[in-house]
Amino acid sequence: MLNEKKQRIDAEKRIPSPKAKELFHDIRRKQEIGKNDLLVSSGLTVSTLTRVLEELVGIGIISESGLGASTGGRRPILYQVKADYGYAFGLDISRVISRLVLLDLAGNKLDSTEWRMTEETTPVCFMQQVTVQVEEWMDKHRISFEQVIGMGVGAVGPLNREAGVIEEPEWFAAPGWNHVPAVQMLEDRLGFPVILDNGANTALIAESWANRTKNFRHMLYVHAGTGLRLGMMTDNKLIHGAVDMEGSFGQMIIQADGLPYRTAQGNYGALDTYASVYAIEREVNSRLRLGRSSVLHQMLRPGEPAKFPDIMKALKAMDSMVTEIVTQAATYFGIGLANLLNILNPEKVILGGPLMTDSNLFFYTATQTAIRKTYHYPKYQVIFSKGSYGEEAIAIGAAQLMLSQLTV
C-alpha cells in the first residue's frame, strides 16, 4: 500500500506563512495575475509582497510567467500557479455510479474513471478499487508521493464531516454502507490526507470554481437523481447546518396529505416522493400495470419493470405517457425549487443529476415553474444552469476541496 512507502504530508503545512496562503489563494483563482494587481488586492507593502512572492516561488508552488502590459511604467511581473507542484484526487461516492478524478494544482483534469455500484460493491471492495486506481494513475502520470496533496470525497449523506464517517445513507445496492469510516479507510490504504463532505457541497465547490470570475455571492446546487440533494454557498463559503442537510430538500413537504415516503423515516407528501428517479419509475410502472399504452411495452420483457434508462429512451421517442409523467414530476420539482428561491434568494442555481442531464424537458419545465412561482419575479432574476462539469461535478469539487486545504 502507499502508506507503507511514505509518511503522510498534511496539506496545510505545505505553505507555512498565513500571508503566503492568502496570496496563493488570490493567485490560484486567476490563470495569471500581475504583481501590481496583487499589490492592490492584498493590501501588502511592496517589500512584504515581494518577500512573500519570493517565498512562494522558493517553495515551487508558483512561478513567474512573464511580463504584463505596461500602464505607463515598468512592465509588471506575472505570476501563475505551478500546475505540476501537486495533485489531488476527487472521489464521488454515490448510489448508482461513483467516480474518481485526478486534478493538478491549477485545477486541470488529468484523468477520470467511474464504477457502477452493484450488489457486490461493499465499502471494503470499493475502497480497494479506489486504491488500485490511485496507484495506477500515480505510475501513469509519474506522480511522486510527495506531490500528492490528498483526496477529497463527496459522498451521499447523511454523514459526519468531522469524524469522516458516512452515517446511514439509503438505497445502496450493496450491504454495509451504514456507519462507514470512509476517511480512515482511505487514509489507511493511501497514506495521504483525505477530507469528506457531502456530494452536493463538493459539486457546488466545482461550479463555484467554474464561475470564480463572475463574483456570484449566493449560489445553490441541487442534484436530482435517486434522491434530491442540496448544497448552499454564500460569499464563496459553504453553508453547513447543525447536522448534514444534504437530503433535507427532498423532505420538503409539498402535499401534507400526500403519498407516504418510501421508508418509514420520511415525511408524507415529501418532494422526493413526487420528483425523483424513484418517483418517475413508480408512476411509469403503475400505469404500465394498468395497461396504459406506451412504447415501453415493446422495449421490455413481459412483467419486467421499467428502469430509468428505459424511461429516458421512451421520452426521447416522445412517448405520451412518459412525457406526461416526467412533466408532472418536473412541475413538482419546480414548486419545491420556488420555495427555495423565495426563502434563500440565490443569484445562481445549478441543477445537476440524471434528471437534469438526461432530460431537457425536466430542466425546462422545472425552471419555468420555479420562475412563475417566485415571489419577487420579474424584479428578482435568478440564473439557472446545468453547470460546467455535468456528472463529474461531485468528484471534481471533491478534488478542489482538497486543494483548498493548502490555504486553510
pLDDT in tens, 229-282: 999 999 888 988 877 777 789 999 999 899 999 888 889 999 999 999 999 999
Confidence at residue 3, expressed as pLDDT on a 0 to 100 scale = 47
Domains of the chain: 2-84 (1.10.10.10), 85-206+393-407 (3.30.420.40), 214-387 (3.30.420.40)
- Short-list 336, 346, 332, CA closest to 380: 346
Residue type present at position 24: F
- Per the listing, cell 474518481 goes with 100
Looking at every residue in the chain, the average pLDDT score rounds to 91
Residue that wins the pLDDT comparison between 170 and 282: 282
pLDDT digits (tens, 9 = 90+) for 66-86: 777 766 667 878 999 999 999
pTM value > 0.75: yes
- What confidence score (pLDDT) does residue 71 get? 67
Task: Tell me the percentage of the chain whose pLDDT exceeds 90.
Answer: 75
Q: State yes or no: pLDDT of 381 exceeds 60.
A: yes
pLDDT, position 2: 53
Band of residue 149 on the pLDDT scale cut at 50, 70, 90: very high
pLDDT at 7: 52
**Tell me: the pLDDT tens digits for 5-22?**
445 567 767 888 899 999
Tell me, what's the pLDDT at 288?
Answer: 96
Per-residue confidence (pLDDT) for residue 70, from 0 to 100: 67
Please say if the pLDDT value at position 125 is more than 80: yes
Q: What average pLDDT does the segment 210-226 reach? A: 90
Top-confidence residue, 379 or 98: 98
User: For residue 74, what pLDDT is reported?
Assistant: 75
Higher pLDDT, 241 or 314: 314
The pLDDT of 103-132, averaged and rounded, is 97
Question: What mean pLDDT comes out for the span 107-120?
Answer: 97
Residue 375: pLDDT over 90 = no
Q: Which residue has the higher pLDDT, 12 or 158?
A: 158
